[in-house]
Structures are given as structure tokens and as C-alpha cells.
Amino acid sequence: MSQYVLEVNHLNKCYGKNKENQFHVLKDVAFHIEAGEFVGIMGPSGAGKTTLLNVISTLDQPTSGTIEIAGTNITTMKQNQLADFRSQQLGFIFQDFNLLENLTVYENIALPLSLQGVATKQIKPSVLKVANNLGIQDILTKYPAEISGGQKQRVAAARALIHEPAMILADEPTGSLDSKNAKSLMETLVHMNENLGTSIMLVTHDPLSASYCKRILFIQDGQLYKEIYRNHTRNEFHQNILDVLAEFNTLSELN
Amino acid sequence: MLLKLSLTSMRKMFKDYLVLLFGLTISIAIFYMFQTLAQNEAFVKANSMISATMFVFHVGTFILGFITIFYIFYATSFIQTLRQKEMAMYMTLGAKKSKITQLMFMETLFIGLISLVIGIIIGIGLTTVIADLLMEKLDFSAEATGFKAIYTGSILTTIIFYVALFLLTSMVNAWQIGKKKVLDLLQANKKQDFIKTSGVKTFFGVLFSIILIVIGYYIMIDMAKFKHFGVILASITIVPGTYLIFISFLPFFVKKLKQNRTLNETGINSFTLGQLRFRMLNLTKVLGTVAMLIALGLGAMTAGISFYHNVEIQASKLQANDAAIYQPTTEDLNTMEKMKLTEKHTYVYKVSDDGVFFLKESLLKQPPLIPNMEKGIEKLADVKIKRIEDKLPAPVYSMDGTKGEGLPDKWLTAMSLELNASYNMFGERMIHVVDKSHYQQVKAEEKQVILVKADDFSNYLPEFKQLEERQRKVAESYVGKPVENAGGKYNNYVSLKSFSSGTIFMGIFLGIAFLMMMASVLMFKLLSNAGADIQRYQMLRKIGVRKSLLNRSIYRELFLLFLFPAIVGLVHVLVGMQMFSFILIEPYTKIWLPISLFLLIYGSYYIITVQLYKRIVLPKH
């Protein structure tokens, strides 16, 4: 067992079977995330962010290379194994919340546990605990249509967290939120990371959201381009991020 | 350009259009069958005892037409929901609404015309096959009745009706698309269905639905007491009661299920039940209608089949003995040899110009069995077969009492019904029962009549037919001219049977048509809501739900949605058959037959719906 929660090596992803039409989206990507880290992935549109996330979240198969999550190589798994793996080891937060409108907040949060066959007796305390942690204990009996966008996203976070996954994958979680709710959600993620020790991989192109991370990987044209760490305040880090993004822009202008 | 666009999109969505085409074709084929029955006067006249049957077939066509309208609107709105986004895209690209409506109009009409051609061809085929099958089963040939599968009149009616219907639906559809905003069309799938129910309302709804159904059932069971008024009363309690069940009772039931933590929090149950609950609230009217029409369709089928199978029991309740054989010949005796007889009595009589004289002593020595038709018996089932115990003290009896005394009621029944001593047999001659001294004074040759009852009437139908044919000759010799119907049980049986054949024929057609259309209305309604579910299933896939589990959830959810109206409809039929208990001795004879036919049709629609639904909501790989 490695101490890494995620280890990606020589990862390649091509679309299209025909050699002439082949499109190389990810080129020899390699990085790792340590347990308890909060890592952001940034890059311009078309850089391969979503593909990377899909491959890591086992929704898509890589063309070559290995991905190990919590010590398990996921690239050789079968469909059903992958589904089970996702349900046990990964937590998802999507841009458009993806809550089930026909279930109450409580049922939405409890779903991953019931899917794993956890006994009813154990489900309730877990839901209450996670809801308290995220400050949504008062809306448990409501339906998603009755709560605000910020609350929805926190419910989604609670659902991602309930089964104590090895890692949480967040795909533009602030994309549909206003700045106030976005800030509140990012603080929630930081809280999860710092106080509960959850490893988080955040994909975003909002520099402000990214500034909450501890480390940011930039990818461009399917390759890792740069890696920066947060050493001082969040403001400084935000400035660093903006500088790197500015570099991107000038580079692409010149090319 | 418009034509090209519409053709390419139709090719692209061929499979979805196939569903619509299939449904429409069924509807047209059945409509055609009905029309052929309703308009084929030769057929209707030859097979029904009453001319009113024509009217019944026309009513059948009317009801069918009504359901068809209902059906086509559901079917086309299903296709429409599949196309909304595409329409919106054309509009954002700058296509005018009038162009879009034109496109929709053309497509609906085009599909309609194709299905009309296929439908009529299939209709002709179906009519041939089913009519042959039924007529063979019911013992009458197509030549004798003049039944033709290809009938110009019904082809024309079908075409006119459907073309009008297609024009109407395509106009309404085009108008509906035109009415909507581009943005609504673009985001058609994102609409959330959210419904909240209040507790008090639900409670009264549940209570009220149960009360109404109970009253309706009570009336149907005791129909003999309420007569015509009962039919109206039953329909005004059961119809709203059924809708109320779906509006309040079932959502309440599913909610209760959901409140069971252990059940709800096991596996994917919470999702399945959540889907079910919301579905149900959106579908109350459709589910109620489906339940009612299942009840009607299945009821029509069951009643038809029940009538058919009750003919023999009915005939046996009306006449205790199977045949009276006057002047038995050696052929008759040989025929009787082949049967296992439980009753065989020989009586003697003489026929002179003064009338027919039966010897009293021979009758009293072996009194015949008769059905006991006393006053106060409301149901045919209560009629018992008994042997006459009454003596005949007077020396001379006659049927109308003109000579000597009038025959007592029981003996009158025995003579006219069992011994068939009636106008059919003896013409104008008066029937007498006289003692030995009077009998000897009659100057005529003594003849014999044998009264028989076989162990199982329906086992010996060909034999009874032979006996009946020879009896007709005997009757001819007495009456002096050819006799069409010499009376007796066999003849009664045949006429009852031909009457019920008409009923069964119509019952089965009506039943099948109702069931197929209702099941497909449910199917289309479910499928047109499937678009909203795509995202839900995608999300479940992402958080790691196995595909097999999603499959199971779909099977279960749809199963329950199909199950509820089926149960309600089935219970309605089972209770409703009690209505016929005053004319049918055993209303439930062979009820497994219509029920299994129903399960087969309904079950296949369930499987098709699941497959189509899966194709819409689950990812391909």
C-alpha cells in the first residue's frame, strides 16, 4: 500500500479508432495525491480536465497507463467492479447538483449507504452526523425543489461524504452558484478537508474557488504544465493562480 | 428542404416512430375488424337472434373510436416529447414557427397514412384468422353467414375516420408546439415534477374511495334487487371510486411503504419508491382510466365466454330430460345404445282426430323429472331438478281443461317441456292424460315415447342431433307439413348457443381491443415521461449503482405501475360478474381463459415498455 490516495502514471487517452482521426486528449500524464490533500486541477477549455476526471472517476477507460486509487489499480476492472468501486471509494459533487428530486434530502444523503446494504439502524446516525457537519440538519425532510442552490450543493457534498470515501471528486461544484453560496461551499470543502481529513480533487476554472486548494495542477493540451503550492495566504495564492492563467493566455496568443 | 429535414429526422428516430406505428396499426386493425362486424349485415343477421345486435356493434365501434382518439393523442404527444429539443434547435437557428408546425403536421400525417395502409392490411388478415377461428369454435361456417373479411364499406369508414383523426391530431400537435416558447422547448427535460399532498385531503379521499367502492360492489352483488336502477347506481359509485383510489389511496399506500425505514433504506428501494410515488401522482387519471377500461374489456370478454359455457347448464336447468323420442325406430334405439343413460322411461299414447291421449298409469308408474320453477326463485342457479310426486286423481285431464280437469302445474311442465307434447310436435291437437278405461276407448294404434337423460348432454351432441332429425319427421307426420323446429332440449340448446356465440364473438373482440389500447396508452404515457428520468439514472450510474440494479429498479417500478390498475380492474370484473348471476348459473366458468388472455396481452405490453424505457434512460454500453 502506498500512502497516496491517488497515483496516476503514464496516463494516455485517445479518442477515435482510426489512426488519422485519432485525437490525443491526455498525453503521458503522471501525478499523485496524498491522503488528506486538497488538490485543484485547472486549465483552459479543451485542455483535458473533464477527460482526466472521467478517467479517474472510472466513468471512462484510459487508453494506456495506470491509475491507482487507495492502492487499487482501477484500469483493469470490469464494469460491475467499477460500479462497486465508485460506490465505495469515491464521492462525487457535480456542477448541476444531481440530486434526485423525487427523494427527500435525507433519502438523497442516505442513498449511497442503502446501496451498500448498510443496516437501517446505522444509516440514521451517519446521516445526522454528516448533516450536522455541513449545517443542513434542518432541511432533511424537504425535497430538493424546496431548497436553495447553495443548500442543494451542500446536500450533494453530504451525499459524497456519507460513505467515507477514499477521495471526493468535485467537478465545477461552484459553477451554478452565486458568489456568496460559492464561498460558503468552498469553506465547507475546506472544513471537510481540514477537520474530517477528506482527500479532495477539485476541477474548476474559477481561480477564486481554486484558491481554497493547497496545491494546483495546471494542464494544457493534455499535458501537465505546471504545479503550484499554497504557501502563504489565500489572497497571495489567488494572485499566483491568476499569474499562471495569464501565462496560458499569452502562450496561446503567441502560438 | 423541409421535407428532407423531416425525412432524415424520421429515419434517425425510426425506432421511436416504430412504436407509434405499431400502436396505430393495432388501433386501425381492430377498428377495421369492428367495422367489418358492424357493417356486415349478413353476418349480424345470420348469427344473432335479435336485430338489436347491429346496434350493439355500432356502439362498440363508437366506444372504440373514442378510445382511439384518446390513444392517438397520447401516442403523438409521446413522439412530440422526443422531438422537442430538435424543434427548439431549429427555432434557435431561425426557423419560423410556421415552418416547424408545418414539419410536425407533415410528419404526423405521414406516419398516419403509412399506418393506415399497414393497419387495414393487418386488419383484413386478423379478421380472417380470428373470424375463422371463432366460427370454427362456435360451429358456423363463413359461407353460411356471408361473412367476408374484405369489406369495401368498412375499408371506407376506417379510412375516413382515421384521416379525419390524423388531420385533427396533427393540427392540435402543431398548434401545441407553436404555442410553446423556444426556451421551454430547450429545457423541456429539466422541468421538475414536484407535488405536495395535504394529510386531511388524503384521509378523506381514502375514506371516500373505499366507501364508494363498497357501495358499488354491494349493488353489483345484489343486482337482482336493484334492477336497472342498480346499473346506473353502480356506475356512478364505482367510476369515481376507482379514480379516487388512484388519486388518494395508492399514493397514500406508497407513502406508507416509504415510511417503512427498513424497506425504504434497503438497496435502491428508496429511489424506486420515490420514482413510483411521483409517477403515480402524475398518472392518477391515466391509471384510473386504464383500470376502468381493463374492467370493461375483461368484463366483456369474461361475460361472453361465460355466456357461451353456461348455455349447456342453462339448457339443463330449463329441461330436466335430454330428449323425448316419439315412435322410436331401430335406428333411434341403436343411437340410444351408444349413450350412457341415467333416465329412460317409456310411456304410451294414442293419437286420434280428437287429440293426443297419454295413458295416466304409464306416467304415474315412472314419474318424470322436472325443473322446480316455484315462485320466489330469482336466480336460475336456485332451480332444482325434482321428480314429480303429485298424483293425478281425476280420470281425464287436458292441457287447457276443456275436457275433464286441467293438468296441475307440475304435470303441465312435464308434458309440455319434458315430453315435448306441444304444438311443435302435434300441431293443433289437444293433449290429454287419461286413465286406463278412457284410454282403451280411444280408437287408434298405441305408440311409444321414450324419455331419456344422458349422463352428460354435451358429450352426445351428434347423437342428439340425429335423434332430433328423426323426430322432425315424426312431427311432420302429425302436423301434416314440414316442421322447422320440433322443440325439445337439443333445439333450445342450439338456439341459446347461437345467441351466446354472438355475445362471445363481440365480447372477445371488444375485450382485446380495449386491453391492447389501454395497455399502450399506459405505455406511451410512461415513456413520454422517461425523458425527465435520463439524468437521474445517469447520476445513479455515476455514484456507482450497478447496471443490473438499475435494471431491477426499472422492472420493479414499472411492474407496480402496471400492477395497480390490473388488480383494481380484475377485482372489478370478479365482483362485477355477480351482476349476471340471475341469468348465468355459473358466472365464473372458465374465467381463467379471459384472465390468462388479459395477462398475456398486458404482460407483453409491460415487457415492451420496460425495454423501451431502458433504451431511453440507460446508457448504451
Taking alpha carbons only, the member of B473, B458, B456, B488 closest to residue B324 is B488
Cα of B575 to nearest chain A Cα, Å? 36
Residue of B nearest to A81 (CA): B546
Cα of A120 to nearest chain B Cα, Å? 6
Indicate the burial class of B196 (C-beta count within 10 angstroms; 0-12, 13-18, 19 or more).
exposed
B533 pLDDT exceeds 90? no
B198 pLDDT exceeds 70? no
- Residue at grid coordinates 398475456: B600
Structurally, chain A folds into a number of domains equal to 1
Summarised one tens digit per residue, pLDDT across range A193-221 is: 888 888 999 998 888 889 999 999 998 88
Q: For the stretch B483-504, what's the b/e string if a residue is b when 16 or more beta carbons lie within 10 angstroms of its beta carbon?
A: beebbbbbbbbbebbbbbbbbb
Return the C-alpha cell found at B286: 391515466
Indicate the burial class of B262 (C-beta count within 10 angstroms; 0-12, 13-18, 19 or more).
exposed
Residue of B nearest to A97 (CA): B539
Q: What is the mean pLDDT of chain B?
A: 79
Give residues 537 to 566 of B whose Cβ lies within 8 Å of A. 539-549
Name every chain B residue with its beta carbon within 8 A of the beta carbon of A79.
Answer: 547
B365 pLDDT exceeds 90? no
Give the pLDDT score at B118: 92
Q: Is the distance from CB of B514 to CB of B66 less than 8 angstroms?
A: no
DSSP class of B431: E
Name every chain A residue with its beta carbon within 8 A of the beta carbon of B262.
Answer: 120
pTM over 0.80: no
Q: What is the ipTM of this complex?
A: 0.82
Task: Provide the residue type at A128 as one letter.
Answer: L
B50 pLDDT exceeds 50? no
B219 pLDDT exceeds 90? no
A184 pLDDT exceeds 60? yes
**Do strands A199-203 and A38-42 pair parallel, antiparallel, or not at all (unpaired)?**
parallel
Q: What percent of chain B has pLDDT over 70?
A: 85
B192 pLDDT exceeds 50? no
Summarised one tens digit per residue, pLDDT across range A140-158 is: 998 888 888 888 888 998 9
A230 pLDDT exceeds 70? yes
Q: Which CATH number characterizes residue A147's domain?
A: 3.40.50.300
Summarised one tens digit per residue, pLDDT across range A70-119 is: 888 888 888 888 888 888 888 888 877 678 888 889 989 998 888 888 88
Name every chain A residue with its beta carbon within 8 A of the beta carbon of B545.
Answer: 83, 87, 115
Task: Using pLDDT thresholds of 50, 70 and 90, give the confidence band for residue B226.
Answer: confident
Cα–Cα distance measured from residue B607 to residue B559, given in angstroms and rounded to the nearest whole number: 9
B270 pLDDT exceeds 80? yes
Residue of A nearest to B536 (CA): A100
Three-state secondary structure string covering A164-211: CCCEEEEECCCCCCCHHHHHHHHHHHHHHHHHCCCEEEEECCCHHHHC
Cα–Cα distance measured from residue A7 to residue A32, given in angstroms and rounded to the nearest whole number: 4
Q: Is the distance from CB of B299 to CB of B572 less than 8 angstroms?
A: yes
Q: Is the distance from CB of B213 to CB of B242 less than 8 angstroms?
A: yes
What DSSP assignment string belongs to B515-552?
Answer: HHHHHHHHHHHHHHTGGGGHHHHHHHHHTT--HHHHHH
Task: Using pLDDT thresholds of 50, 70 and 90, give the confidence band for residue B390.
Answer: confident
**Is B535 part of the contact surface with chain A (CB cutoff 8 Å)?**
yes
Give the pLDDT score at B197: 59
Give the pLDDT score at B48: 47
Give the pLDDT score at B503: 67
Average pLDDT of the residues in B131-155: 68
Task: Using pLDDT thresholds of 50, 70 and 90, give the confidence band for residue B610.
Answer: very high
Q: What is the mean pLDDT of chain A?
A: 85
B140 pLDDT exceeds 60? no
Average pLDDT of the residues in B97-121: 82
Cα–Cα distance measured from residue B355 to residue B362, given in angstroms and rounded to the nearest whole number: 18
Domain of residue A32, residue span: 4-254
User: What is chain A's Cα-based Rg?
Assistant: 19
